[in-house]
A and B are shown apart, each in its own frame.
Chain A
Amino acid sequence: MAVKLTVPISEEDIRALKVGDQVLVTGVIFTGRDAAHKYMMDNFIKGTCPDSEKETYDVLKAGLAGSVIYHCGPVVGKTNDGKHTFVAAGPTTSIREEPYQADVMGHFGVRAVIGKGGMRDRTLAGCKEHGAVYLHAIGGAATLIAESVKEVLDVYKLDFGVPEAFWKIRVEDFPCVVTMDSHGESLHDKIRTDSQKKLQEILAS
């Protein structure tokens, strides 16, 4: 039975989740991937926010608290009335954000990161420290996930390009699996360790 997670997500909701749980995410969330994470790190976390970026910062600061960052570079179309719409919106590989993720979680109060492939030790420690989880979406299931994106509310830093911009979206019942929880457990670490052991067995045979 899938657990429903609704934005704003409380720390209590997060602490109740364990690796392997299936969840359905509902609410207003943001996409953000390589350029977005580097931008947040350089301008807001390491740097002092330049005036030109103040407006974006305020939006992110208010929007990300208790919310979700989705590692996704969508294919975006426009409807006849000129509104943006997500055509395809599967997760992208999360590990590229490993240098930034824990800091971004802490600074903005992000409760969950959705992506694919899992992340490593720094992010896992960040999840434990800040009360956050890593949610694994189904890589490549772009059309299906686009269906759960009910509305595109806004876009920031579109000059990064369509895939790299921050897209503010409203999702309903976005299906994911918890693969890194806030108690220090990572399904990815377990599978990696087990498969490496098995590899040695196969090579020895």
Chain B
Amino acid sequence: MQGNLSRRRLKDGPGIERPEPRASARADAAMSGMGPGTPGFARDYCPMRDYGEGEHGQAAVSPWHPERDTGKLLLAHATRKTPSKMRRLGGFHMQDITEHLVELIKSASTDLGPDVQNALSTAVETEEKDSAAQGALLTILDNVEMSRKTGRPICQDTGTPIFYVWYPVGVSQLQIRKQVKAAVRIATEKTYLRPNAVEALSGKNSGDNTGEDFPTIHFDEWEHDYVKVGLMLKGGGSENCGAQYSVPSQDFPAARDITGVRKAVLDAACKAQGLGCAPGILGVGIGGDRATSMIKAKEQLFRRLTDSNEDAELDAMEKRLHREINELGIGPMGFGGKTTVLGVKMAQLHRVPASFFVSIAYMCWADRRKLLTIKNGSVTIEAP
């Protein structure tokens, strides 16, 4: 029955093409008392003004509904819930989503997405039997399963938590920012995250993963009537392997076209060697200014590994670079081997005529990113 519930919710969700059973099951399990047998369940998808009440008195309501917080429709871990902070803003009733954000962090940190795990499993077959490369991949896969089972971080470097928040008109960024910071503190206490925020010059650790512009939060208001939060945990070792090329430059002669982009990406992959915890995933931003170009590059890391680029030229180059980088022979952990990257994802932005930036964001094999959707009373956490 839980499975049914997952599918129905997922089908309802935006931009979701495939159920991710484990994550959605967790979200389902967290929905205390809710299920197909609950009278209010069928109304889970009703328009906002028409919510009923469940048999235990819990309202089957939208997360925006003012009464949702007063009923028993709370998550299983509601005992540690922060006090209800209802906000009436622009006609919306913004509920405190801190607890869902904590679950999002846990899921991202401990449960690797199926696209990445499948790519790693495939890679095992391509490496030479009993080689260091194959041994590294097998250890990685063992570790992934162990983390999922024990609910412990896949990697101790839980990195910079980078949040992307899409929200309806009228929702307060200030409130969401507060809740994101609160969730990060709770997740740090629960050891889903390592305390990672240190003051730039003194190196002093804030102890709770918050600080000046830490964690990173990108906000985007949208026309939909629900909230979606993406989270990527970006480890430091891989972040250090990122690169930005101003094309051409004295040190880097290359053409301002797709061939120059190819040269830059290959150069960055070769310079990275195994240092970013290969096999990695490369996000590439072409154009923009120095800042927007890198932001675009990082956004590409949210794409599913098996997807295709809508731009035919970029799609062909993504596949070509994936193949060519693997021909470099750097291999898992830089031990040598055929799997240096699991994918290359690219996008372009408009630029000023004088500049041509190619920005490369390197993501380690522990490509931890998840999406939280809170829509019409249902909460889903899933891999992209």
Interface residues of A (CB under 8 A from B): 20, 22, 34-35, 72-77, 87-90, 92-93, 95, 116-118, 136, 138-144, 146-147, 160-164, 175, 177, 179, 187-188, 190-192, 194-196, 198-199, 202-203
Q: Are B328 and A92 neighbours in the complex by a CB distance under 8 Å?
A: no
- Assess the A161–B205 pair: CB atoms within 8 A: yes
Segment 274-326 of B: residues with Cβ below 8 Å from A:
274-275, 277, 324
Chain A residues whose CB sits within 8 angstroms of the CB of B107 once the complex forms = none
- Contact (A92, B237) CB under 8 Å given A117-B274, A144-B142, A202-B327: yes
The answer to whether B277 and A72 touch across the interface, beta carbons within 8 angstroms, is no
Known contacts: A147-B146, A177-B132, A202-B324. The answer to whether A88 contacts B152 by CB under 8 A is: yes
Q: Is B196 an interface residue (CB 8 A)?
A: yes
Measured CA separation A87–B157 after assembly (Å) = 12
- The A interface is mostly helix, strand or loop, or mixed, namely mixed
Question: A144 near B139 (CB under 8 angstroms)?
Answer: yes
The 14 listed contacts between A and B (C-beta, < 8 Å) are A88-B191, A90-B155, A117-B274, A136-B335, A142-B153, A142-B155, A142-B156, A143-B154, A161-B207, A188-B334, A191-B273, A195-B270, A195-B328, A195-B329
- In the complex, A93 Cα to B364 Cα: how many Å? 12
Q: Give the residues in chain B near A202, CB-CB below 8 Å.
A: 266, 324, 327-328
- Whether B152 contacts A146 by the Cβ 8 Å rule is yes
| Residue of B whose beta carbon sits closest to that of A142 | B156
List the B residue with the shortest CB-CB distance to A93: B237
Tell me whether B132 and A140 are in contact (CB under 8 A).
Answer: no
In the complex, which residues of chain A have a beta carbon less than 8 angstroms from the beta carbon of B331? 191
Report whether A198 and B157 are in contact in the complex, using a CB–CB cutoff of 8 Å.
no
**B135 contacts which of A22, A143, A146, A203 (Cβ < 8 Å)?**
A22
Contact A88 B139, beta carbon cutoff 8 Å: no
Q: Residues 180-204 of chain B: 1 if any A CB is under 8 Å from the residue's CB, otherwise 0?
A: 0000000000010111101000011
- B240 CB–A CB distance under 8 Å: yes
Lowest 7 CB-CB distances: which A-B pairs, in order?
Answer: A161-B205, A88-B156, A139-B277, A141-B143, A144-B143, A117-B275, A142-B156
Within the complex, the shortest CB–CB distance from B302 to chain A, in Å, comes to 19
Residues of the B chain whose Cβ atoms lie less than 8 Å from the Cβ of A139: 155, 237, 274, 277, 333, 364
Interface set of B (CB-CB < 8 Å, partner A): 132, 135-136, 139-140, 142-143, 146-147, 150, 152-158, 191, 193-196, 198, 203-205, 207, 235-237, 240, 263, 266-267, 270, 273-275, 277, 324, 327-331, 333-336, 364-366
CA of A196 to CA of B329, assembled, Å: 10
In whole angstroms, what is the CA distance A143 to B149 when docked?
A: 10
Query: Given known contacts A87-B153, A116-B333, is B194 in contact with A141 (CB within 8 Å)?
Result: no
B273–A117 CB distance below 8 A = yes
Closest chain B CB from A98 CB (angstroms):
12
**Mostly helix, strand, loop or mixed at chain B's interface?**
loop
A77 and chain B: residue at smallest CB distance: B191
Residues of A near B135 (CB, < 8 A) are 22, 177
Contact of B140 among A35, A87, A118, A138 (CB under 8 A): A138
Q: Are A117 and B334 in contact (CB under 8 A)?
A: yes
Smallest CB–CB gap between B124 and chain A, Å?
A: 14
Known contacts A35-B203, A75-B194, A88-B152; is A199 also within 8 Å of B366 by CB? Answer: no
Q: Which residues of chain B have C-beta atoms less than 8 A from A140's C-beta?
A: 140, 143, 154-155, 157, 235, 277, 364-366
- Closest A residue to B146 using CB positions: A143
The docked-state distance in angstroms from the alpha carbon of A88 to that of B207 is 17
B150 contacts A199, C-beta separation under 8 Å: no
* Complex: chain B residue closest to A177, CB-CB: B132
Q: Give chain B residues whose Cβ lies under 8 Å from the Cβ of A34.
A: 203
Which residues of chain B have C-beta atoms less than 8 A from A90's C-beta?
Answer: 155-157
Considering only CB atoms, which chain B residue lies closest to A118 in the complex?
B334
CA distance A35 to B198 in the complex (A): 12
Residues of A within 8 A of B155 (CB): 88, 90, 139-142
Measured CA separation A138–B195 after assembly (Å): 22
A110 to B150, CA, bound (A): 34
**Contact across chains for B336 and A75 when beta carbons are under 8 A apart:** no
**Chain B: which residue is nearest A35 at the CB level?**
B203
In the complex, residue of chain B having the shortest beta-carbon distance to the beta carbon of A175: B139
- Tell me the complex Cα distance, A188–B152, Å: 31
